[in-house]
Amino acid sequence: MEVLHSVHSHHWLSLFFDFCVANRPFLLPSTSTETWRAREEWVTVEGRPNDERLRKDFDDLSAPVMTEGNCEPEVMRLGEYIDYVEGERDGPLRYLKDWHFQESVGCTYYSPPACLAPDWVNRENWTSTVDSPFDGSDYRFVYYGVKGTWTPFHSDVLSSHSWSANICGRKLWYFIPRGEERRFMEKGNLICDLRERKEKFEEAGGFTLHQEAGEIVFVPSNWHHQVHNLVSAQITEDTISINHNSINASNLPLVADFLLSRLEDVKREIADIRDILTDEEWAEQTRLLLKADARLDVQGLLRLCRLVIDSRMERSRDCYVCWKHRDVAECRMGICRPLPCTCTSSTCIECERVLEEYEVTVAALTIDRIEKQDRLRE
């Protein structure tokens, strides 16, 4: 049975290889966020959201708000949502989520810990520019949920990793190990609420986690989960969290798997019009449909890999070699190769060199795999 590991003193490169590359969930302690500006300014001394400060700084910023029972979010000013939080809260619960806060005001309110810092979507020179394969969009979000709000059973977009840092409040997480989510399908769709299937939850090896203020939960690619904002045993409180979806060398093969598989699905779904299209029209139509469905196409993934390789090769990075494994994804830093140093910072030159060598190698192998598959189809 899988468990979620709480880590405290591991070297950040070991964490990256042992959990991110191995695609295993883990929990970082509250010390990981204790220096964040968000934890200092957005939380009262009692541990509640500092609504007065949030109003002062961000009152007029717009954010999407989901109302319980509705499928589409409503756009509100943050000040309007705080009016709801501070009011009677009559009727269906409202949950401010998927707010592109960082895109609006910058990232000065926090800095991801070193093991989670590699992020080709949100933390590169091309992020939020026309060069980005994601059309200039980021995948960094702030959530503000009143007690009792929750996120239904799901896995994250594009087979990405995700992490969620509680600025204040508590969450209850339900995890289902990768591959076991098929037990919770009905009529081709995932159920919304795992609590309705307690027996199957246990059979699937599911487990729960209570996340406290300041802690960070890492959710690996393709791990389905469900999340609830809780009432504390000590005080009634609401929850603010900062969340990222990320792609990097540790999950790039899984992202490629997802896109290549979904591309084949798209081709099957529109096979009835294949004969009326030229090869060029067919390729363009399937590309457009894949991008609309997955928010990235195979060409965009190739471009992302080349952006990574070009940026790292500018610093004369070589390829990563593991003498024990032909597949570098099986390598474990500190076991297969010695750790380059004992630092705790992602700005360490020696550790950065090792990581960037690994990034170049995985990106190059992914390009080679996709190009070989394209040649086989010709």
Q: What is the pLDDT of residues 188-234, one digit of tens each?
A: 899 999 999 999 999 999 999 999 999 999 999 999 999 999 865 55
pLDDT at 157: 94
d(CA 74, CA 227): 21
- What is the token pair recorded at 197? 């299937």
Domain 5-248, CATH: 2.60.120.650
Q: What is the pLDDT of residues 129-138, one digit of tens each?
A: 889 999 888 9
- What is the token pair recorded at 46? 């009692």
343-362 average pLDDT score? 85
d(CA 373, CA 378): 9
Residue closest to 139 by CA, chosen among 35, 248, 65, 226:
248
**H or E stretch covering 148:** none
Cα–Cα distances (Å) from 281 to 264, 276, 278, 284, 295, in that order, read: 16, 9, 5, 5, 20
116-135 average pLDDT score? 93
DSSP-assigned letter for residue 71:
S
**Structural domain spans, the chain:** 5-248, 253-377
- pLDDT at residue 319 is higher than 90: no
- pLDDT at residue 63 is higher than 50: yes
319-331 average pLDDT score? 83
- pLDDT at residue 250 is higher than 70: yes
pLDDT at 1: 46
Q: Map residue 102 onto helix, strand or coil.
A: helix
Write down the mean pLDDT value for the chain. Answer: 91
pLDDT at 345: 65
Kindly state the percentage of the chain with pLDDT values over 90.
75
For the entire predicted model, the pTM comes to 0.94
d(CA 243, CA 7): 19
Residue closest to 286 by CA, chosen among 269, 301, 302:
269
pLDDT at 9: 63
Q: Which residue type occupies 262?
A: R
293-316 average pLDDT score? 94
d(CA 120, CA 244): 11
Residue closest to 328 by CA, chosen among 319, 316, 339:
319
pLDDT at 333: 80
Who contacts 376 (Cβ-Cβ below 8 Å, separation ≥6)?
none
- What is the token pair recorded at 1? 């049975």
